[in-house]
């Protein structure tokens, strides 16, 4: 069975960049500016307060895990009133030892393992828009173990380190995101997959992107009327079904173009276009440049042979 969430994570191409320990004691607070890259933390001891811009404050306790797929500005602190110390996340990325805030001596009130990674996909903004902006999970023992594995692997220079880190981060993402699936999730892919009716249609779109889907076809997969399916899908995912299908087809096309292993005609056929010219027109309208130019700008292999 096709797993849309795994496919989205694979196209995002996550790789770990930086991890560190953080602790705080006494009166302490730090404020990080908008970073844009995905970040995460696991609380290993104590408790603290997290305030993410645009969201209600969260009390974090030992065993909690937080994922911010696009990391807006946020503040982390103890529970005493304090003016947070501003920290530039780009400047802080060089530190590898545990960073202590507040009282320097004695046991900390809170200890966390945190870090950030990057998505190598140039289409990351689209895919991240399908995910929750804040993921907060209680009692996340499996995720805490994964974070420790990421930290330990990042600290060493063993053979295969980069591959191991990228795989660990993929698992970390999937574990975190599938724990938030369901009707309580904000609009996006996870909420859609948490709806059994919609999930059937989403899986079919991912399994057969070349099929000439209609709203009636997708509604039938969901055992809903066309109007009920359209409204339910749009509310759950935040965009209409055919817009989601187009976005998914173009994400596949961009990935194939970057790999430079198929010609335009083959890519067109794979995602449901009757000709290379029809695909080129649609891709240019969507991406702002023709497929061949996109491949040359973003590809990793030798010259891309654009077929007629």
Tokens of 151: 């930290």
Closest CA to 146 of 169, 164, 163, 162: 169
Higher pLDDT, 189 or 243: 243
**pLDDT at residue 218 tops 80:** yes
DSSP H or E run through 99: strand 99-102
What pLDDT is stored for residue 183 in this prediction? 62
Rama region for 163: left / alpha / beta (φ>0; ψ in -120 to 50; rest): alpha
What pLDDT is stored for residue 96 in this prediction? 57
| Residue 173: how many other CB atoms lie within 10 Å | 25
**pLDDT at residue 306 tops 50:** no
Spell out the domains of the chain, with CATH numbers in brackets: 4-178 (2.60.120.280), 189-239 (1.10.10), 243-298 (1.10.10.60)
What pLDDT is stored for residue 246 in this prediction? 95
Are 62 and 45 within 8 A, CB to CB?
yes
What pLDDT is stored for residue 268 in this prediction? 96
pLDDT tens-digit map of 76-127: 999 998 999 998 876 655 555 789 999 998 899 999 998 888 888 877 887 7
Mean pLDDT confidence for 241-266 = 92
pLDDT tens-digit map of 171-206: 888 888 877 766 667 788 888 888 999 999 999 999
């Amino acid at each position: 069975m096709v797993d849309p969430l795994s496919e989205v994570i694979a196209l995002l191409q996550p790789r770990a960049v930086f991890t560190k320990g953080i602790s705080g004691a006494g009166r302490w607070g730090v404020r990080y500016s908008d970073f844009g890259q995905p970040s995460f933390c696991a609380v290993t001891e104590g408790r603290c307060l997290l305030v993410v811009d645009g969201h209600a404050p969260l009390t974090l306790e030992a065993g909690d895990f937080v994922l911010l797929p696009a990391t807006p500005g946020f503040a982390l602190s103890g529970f005493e009133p304090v003016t947070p110390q501003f920290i530039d996340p780009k400047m802080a990325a060089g530190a590898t030892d545990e960073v202590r805030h507040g009282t320097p001596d004695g046991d900390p009130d809170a200890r966390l393992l945190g870090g950030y990674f990057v998505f190598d996909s140039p289409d990351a903004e689209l895919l991240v828009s399908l995910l929750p902006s804040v993921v907060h999970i209680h009692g996340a023992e499996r995720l805490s173990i994964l974070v420790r594995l990421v930290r330990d692997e990042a600290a060493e220079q063993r053979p295969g380190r980069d591959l191991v880190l990228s795989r660990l981060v993929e698992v970390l993402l999937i574990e975190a995101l599938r724990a938030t699936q369901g009707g309580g999730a904000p609009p996006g892919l996870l909420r859609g997959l948490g709806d059994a009716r919609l999930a059937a249609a989403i899986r079919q779109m991912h399994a057969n992107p070349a099929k000439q889907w209609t709203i009636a076809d997708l509604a039938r997969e969901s055992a809903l009327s066309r109007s009920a399916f359209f409204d339910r899908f749009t509310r759950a995912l935040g965009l209409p079904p055919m817009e989601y299908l187009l976005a998914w087809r173009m994400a596949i096309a961009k990935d194939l173009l970057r790999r430079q292993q198929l010609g335009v005609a083959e890519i067109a056929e794979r995602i449901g276009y009757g000709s290379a010219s029809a695909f080129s027109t649609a891709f240019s309208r969507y991406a702002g440049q023709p497929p061949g130019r996109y491949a040359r700008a973003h590809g990793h292999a030798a010259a891309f042979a654009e077929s007629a």
